[in-house]
Structure 1
Amino acid sequence: MDIQLDRAPCGYFSMLENGVVQEVNQTLLDLLEYKRDELVGKHIESAMSATNKMFFHTYFYPYIQLYGHVNEMYFSLRTSSSQQFPVLLNGVRQEREGIVYIDCILIVVRKRIEHEKDILQTKSRLEELYQATNEANLRLEQIHREYEAKQQELTRMNEELEQLASTDPLTGLKNRRYFQKQLDLHIHAYQESGTPFSLLILDIDHFKKINDTYGHPVGDLILTHLAKLLQLNLEKDDAAARFGGEEFVIILPGTQEGQAVEAAEKIREAAESARWGDYRITISVGTAAVEDSDTGESLLHKADVALYASKTRGRNQVTGYSEV
């Protein structure tokens, strides 16, 4: 064997068809920690474990007999200290001087195995990380859905609270708090852009007598019916509210006092002609249109003065502030 093959960077051995080693290079001897006479003349299986002997018989011999070569067959040899030594084996069956030899090259794959293990471990860690990330994303989506649901519930509750805070519980109309806010907004709009509006204050005539005669439940029923009547006789943008007791207030956007008086008269007539069982009522109304000098308080005062005038004139009538 020449020096190049003897010191080649891979193991080499040549054996007869019966498996007896004829030649082995120094590289393989060094790898397996054998002396030359411990392998040459010995069966190649002497450097194999029982498991690898079975593998060799089952795959290597039949394959090389059938095809004449073996490429990259993975198995392990055994060192002199009985350690497993993983290799990739390439073999070829060829005849020299009438004798059939099987020449084999062995490449150490320990680093490759370690690399494959690292790849598998990395893959496993990536899969674990992906699974953890996927679970975290699913949890995050669940938390987001729960947050959205709670946010919607909170919005709904806030709307209900706002509705309760701005609604008169008996009549279902807006309450004094809501009315005051709307009045301030309309005053501001008028001051900014001159948008006109009028205010109505109406009062049920002799309401105390109704309560004293028929009782407060009947009085409450009449207040509820009147609230519904107001809603039926108002335009979409009009704002009606219960101001307190038997008093109601209405904001009529875009109207002057004459238009407000007409609207109030329509409501007065509807209340007078309404039949609510055995009960009948009349209402008195005062109207006032906003002017440059007005505040919310002064406009309320003017409408109230007009209402007082309606009552002192005999009730069941509408009075505009300009008439007072």
Structure 2
Amino acid sequence: MLHRWRTVSKLYLQQGGWQVRHRWERTPIGVRFAFTLTLLLIGLLTLWLLMNLAYLNDALTHQARLNQMRLVKTTEIALERELMNLLRHTEDYSVWNDAREAVLKRDRQWLRINAVDWLTQHFYYDIVAIILPQGKVLISNCSENEWLLNLSLVQDAHRGKGDAGLVRRDGAVYMMSAAPIYDEEWQQPPVGVLVLAKSLKHVQLSQLSEQIGNRVVLTLSTQFQTHGSHPSEGDSGGVILRDPTGHPIALLTLEYPHATKNLMQEWLSKAKRTLAVASVVIAILASLLMVGFLRAYIARFLTAIHRVASGDWGARIPYAARDEFGFLAQTFNRMAIQLQQAFEEQERQREEIQAQNEELQALYQQLRAAHQELAQLNAELVEANRALAQAALTDGLTGLKNHRAFQESLHSLVQMAERHRQPLSLIMLDIDHFKQFNDRFGHPAGDELLKQVAEVLRQSARAYDVVARYGGEEFALLLPNTTLEQAVQVAERIRTQISQIQNPHAPVSASLGVASYRMGTPPATLLYEADAALYRAKHNGRNQVCVYQPEAA
């Protein structure tokens, strides 16, 4: 019975194969060719699709790693910026004559009202403390203070160096800064240390997330292990927070939103579907195109044969491939060439010259277009370089030259003064009581005052004078080919114009120091002498012009 079923199955298979082969042989050659070519192209494109999907997956994985590293670096920069802002705020309140006097007198009531409670209520500091040089806490807003005395930040501040860093205490991580308490003239030694700290809570972490673009969710964890070696930010998926001694104290984890995590998989799925559909469509279109090419070549042969039959001996069949069609085309063309060899030779030469001329014209147009594009790109590059150079040498707030540009101009003008033996003078200007003005009326008002003073200097300067914002509320004016007496007149005029500034908040005044370059001295000497004169003007009561005097220095 089994043998009979095998025989019947074999007969059916043989009959089915014979019918398929018979129908295949009766199918037009174009259809068979298109079907075979389609299967071949689908197979090749499937391999190509798999390779491209693998490359795409690797590229997306690599891009994800790069994005992770970029976000880690951005988070580190944002945290460092917050620490620098905290240190700057601490130094602003540590240089205060009234606070220094209160520390010397041990006036805890004044310090609590004007320093501790003010900073706690208005700036939401978790820790505000003033520590004496003897290692005792004078006043603080927290109950436990002894642990502050052993911190390296506090010890460095006692030595005169303010700094900021991260500290962990009782499972909480603090952004902390410490600065020595000086007088406003920086003449007396420090009398203590001001310590400010904020806890890295949910609000601070949300602010850090906003600074890096709300692309991640930041989570702080103080429970992590290093496994015997220092952890790496890129491997842990976050930022390792360290105290000032370099010891790791917490892990700031970067977590992507749920939509971001699924975006890569969605892209990969869309790419798979798109490439699969594209492969099938390309295979079918390529097959139809190949069949169309074959029919077009056969139509050319038929057209040429009809032309020769009608007496047109100049008919040709263009075909360059070395196959059966090529052999047939070569035989037909040799027959036509033998009939009209001389005429066709001249025609061929004319066509070659014309074809070369057209190629040269096309090449000329391409070169011309490329030259125009290159010229445009070069002009854009020059303009971009000019803008970058201008931005690197200009103060963004006042539009004057910045500190770097001033130093370059100082060295250049000193060399010019030495070469031509011409006088060179320098005016250093400082706005009186600018810090109190800024603290009382706010940074926008302070920025507006800086712009008003910069405009006075800009209008008072000559075309070849150098006006710069030296730093903060301090400005500098280089006066080439100007004697010391002339520079004093210019400084007095500037002081008068500044006192006439119509400021809606408070009267404005400035202190100015004037010095003239002495031949053979370095540029730093001129800068030092003008700064010394400025210091004397501020020391003598401000709102005046002082000239550098060696005996006073």
TM tier relative to shorter chain: 0.5 to 0.7
Match of 2:407 among 139, 162, 180: 180
Does the alignment pair 1:228 with 2:417?
Answer: no
Q: Please give the alpha-carbon distance, in whole angstroms, between the structure 2 residues aligned to 1:257 and 1:288.
A: 7
User: What RMSD in Å do the two structures reach over aligned CA positions?
Assistant: 2.4
Q: Please give the alpha-carbon distance, in whole angstroms, between the structure 2 residues aligned to 1:168 and 1:236.
A: 18
Q: CA deviation at 1:51?
A: 6.9
Structure-2 change in CA distance of 1:195 and 1:125 (3 Å): farther
Does the alignment pair 1:287 with 2:514?
Answer: yes
Which residue is equivalent to 1:312?
539
Which residue is equivalent to 2:484?
257
Which residue is equivalent to 2:428?
201
Instruction: State whether residues 400 and 468 of structure 2, in contact with CA within 8 Å, keep that contact through their aligned partners in structure 1.
Output: yes
Match of 2:496 among 256, 269, 273: 269
Does the alignment pair 1:243 with 2:470?
Answer: yes
SS in structure 1 at match of 2:398: coil
Q: Deviations over 1:181-240 (max 9, x none)?
A: 111101111222213211111000011110121111111110011111111111111110
Instruction: State whether residues 402 and 469 of structure 2, in contact with CA within 8 Å, keep that contact through their aligned partners in structure 1.
Output: yes
Structure-2 change in CA distance of 1:128 and 1:50 (3 Å): closer
Structure-2 change in CA distance of 1:187 and 1:246 (3 Å): same
Q: Deviations over 1:40-76 (max 9, x none)?
A: xxxxxxxxx9979xxxxxxxxxxxxxxxxxxxxxxxx
Q: Please give the alpha-carbon distance, in whole angstroms, between the structure 2 residues aligned to 1:202 and 1:228.
A: 14
Which residue is equivalent to 2:390?
163
Q: Please give the alpha-carbon distance, in whole angstroms, between the structure 2 residues aligned to 1:282 and 1:220.
A: 16
Q: CA deviation at 1:278?
A: 3.3
Which residue is equivalent to 1:119?
346
Structure-2 change in CA distance of 1:176 and 1:114 (3 Å): same
Q: Please give the alpha-carbon distance, in whole angstroms, between the structure 2 residues aligned to 1:263 and 1:116.
A: 94
Task: Name the aligned partner's letter for residue 209 of structure 1.
Answer: Q
Q: CA deviation at 1:298?
A: 0.9
Show the 5 A alignment for 1:295-310: 295-310=522-537
Instruction: State whether residues 452 and 501 of structure 2, in contact with CA within 8 Å, keep that contact through their aligned partners in structure 1.
Output: no
Instruction: State whether residues 395 and 402 of structure 2, in contact with CA within 8 Å, keep that contact through their aligned partners in structure 1.
Output: yes
Q: CA deviation at 1:261?
A: 0.7
SS in structure 2 at match of 1:127: helix
SS in structure 1 at match of 2:541: coil
Q: CA deviation at 1:276?
A: 2.5
TM-score (normalised: structure 2): 0.38
Q: Deviations over 1:16-60 (max 9, x none)?
A: xxxxxxxxxxxxxxxxxxxxxxxxxxxxxxxxx9979xxxxxxxx
Q: Please give the alpha-carbon distance, in whole angstroms, between the structure 2 residues aligned to 1:122 and 1:51.
A: 24
Structure-2 change in CA distance of 1:315 and 1:125 (3 Å): same
Moved runs in structure 1, 4+ residues, more than 2 A?
Answer: 49-52, 113-120, 276-280
Task: Name the aligned partner's letter for residue 368 of structure 2.
Answer: E
Task: Name the aligned partner's letter for residue 253 of structure 1.
Answer: P
Higher relative contact order (CA 8 A, sep 6+): 1
Task: Name the aligned partner's letter for residue 256 of structure 1.
Answer: T
Q: CA deviation at 1:144?
A: 1.0
Q: CA deviation at 1:123?
A: 2.0
Task: Name the aligned partner's letter for residue 421 of structure 2.
Answer: G
- Specify which structure has the higher proportion of strand: 1
Q: CA deviation at 1:294?
A: 2.0
Match of 1:135 among 347, 362, 365: 362
SS in structure 2 at match of 1:162: helix
Does the alignment pair 1:144 with 2:408?
Answer: no
- Structure 1 residue runs of 5 or longer lacking an equivalent are 1-48, 53-82, 87-109
Structure-2 change in CA distance of 1:198 and 1:51 (3 Å): closer
Which residue is equivalent to 1:211?
438
Task: Name the aligned partner's letter for residue 456 of structure 2.
Answer: L
Task: Name the aligned partner's letter for residue 226 of structure 1.
Answer: V
- Specify which structure has the higher proportion of helix: 2
SS in structure 2 at match of 1:169: coil
Task: Name the aligned partner's letter for residue 238 of structure 1.
Answer: D
Q: Please give the alpha-carbon distance, in whole angstroms, between the structure 2 residues aligned to 1:242 and 1:318.
A: 18
Structure-2 change in CA distance of 1:124 and 1:272 (3 Å): same
Greater radius of gyration (CA): 1
Task: Name the aligned partner's letter for residue 117 of structure 1.
Answer: E
- Structure 2 residue runs of 5 or longer lacking an equivalent are 1-308, 313-334
SS in structure 2 at match of 1:280: coil
Which residue is equivalent to 2:87?
none
Q: CA deviation at 1:117?
A: 2.9
TM-score (normalised: structure 1): 0.64
Task: Name the aligned partner's letter for residue 216 of structure 1.
Answer: H
Which residue is equivalent to 2:94?
none
SS in structure 2 at match of 1:287: strand
Q: Sequence identity, in percent?
A: 35
Q: Please give the alpha-carbon distance, in whole angstroms, between the structure 2 residues aligned to 1:116 and 1:199.
A: 91
SS in structure 2 at match of 1:236: coil
